[in-house]
Amino acid sequence: MLRFYRDFAAAAPDELCTVVRLGTVPPLPVFPEQLHWRPAIAVVCCYSGPIADGEHAVEALRRLATPLTDLLVPKPYAALQCATDDTMPHDRHYYWKATDLAGLSDDAISVVADHAYRARSPRSCAVMFHMGGAATRVADTATAFAGRDVAHNIDIDAVWLPGESGEHGRDRGPGGSSTPSNRTAPTASTSTSSIPTTAPAAFEKRRAGRLTTSYGPVPPAHTFVICWRGTGPAQRAR
């Protein structure tokens, strides 16, 4: 899956933003109950443009395999930004580590696939954001934001309940064992990369507000979620 995704994301148009999530299916009403807490890999897509163009942009992804869940609906951009809020509520413990990836080599894919499903807590996950697009066509020295040539940013998110020990929330992801945090609200730790990172969700939500103010309603964003399963999640993720 990740080998296919590497080529799919690299060829994607600027209007298509994709995020890959490796972990268990969260117990949300949008997913069938029989899938809750099962290991899966999900691809979340946002196409900002005409619906027909968005359908075409994700056509190859839809043909890859029969998904557990396929959700593709037009929605306001701001609604997309809060669509996953219920997966990270404020009454849990979080410890997040993030780093930039210059590319998805076969070795990198093997490391991600081997470790993404080893977390002690079923609430932990690995989330990979495809970067690229128009941002890469601006020189590093042109703005305060550097590292524009990276292909992906990966977050290793350890999540555990307040009544559970910090050891239960420890996440042994590609970055190694992480030390649990006692914070009860979502936080982002210092990046393990030498390249600065940002909080894209918060930034894009503010950006959506500015677009609405300046240009009227934000164009519909088309969300596409696919979850696959296999006999072994690590093998399937590759």
Chain segment 27-36, per-residue pLDDT in tens: 988 888 999 9
pLDDT confidence of residue 30: 85
- Closest of 42, 41, 49, 65 to residue 16, by C-alpha: 49
Are 129 and 179 in contact by the 8 Å Cβ rule? The answer is no
Residues with pLDDT less than 70, the chain: 166-236
How far, in Å, CA of 162 to CA of 178, rounded? 17
How far, in Å, CA of 179 to CA of 166, rounded? 8
pLDDT confidence of residue 169: 58
What residue type is 13 in one-letter code? P
pLDDT confidence of residue 41: 92
DSSP for 126-154, please give it: EEEEE--GGGGGS-GGGSS---TT-SEEE
> How far is CA 113 from its chain centroid?
15
How far, in Å, CA of 193 to CA of 195, rounded? 5
pLDDT in tens, 94-136: 999 999 998 899 999 999 988 889 888 999 999 999 998 888 8
Are 113 and 235 in contact by the 8 Å Cβ rule? The answer is yes
Domain definitions of the chain by residue range: 2-237
CATH of 2-237, one of 3.40.50.1820, 3.20.20.80, 3.40.50.11030, 3.40.462.20: 3.40.462.20
- Closest of 94, 102, 96, 109 to residue 195, by C-alpha: 102
> Residue 163 gets which letter from DSSP?
T
The two tokens of residue 219 are 């164009």
pLDDT confidence of residue 86: 85
What residue type is 235 in one-letter code? Q
Are 32 and 117 in contact by the 8 Å Cβ rule? The answer is no
How far, in Å, CA of 152 to CA of 23, rounded? 18
pLDDT confidence of residue 170: 60
pLDDT confidence of residue 233: 62
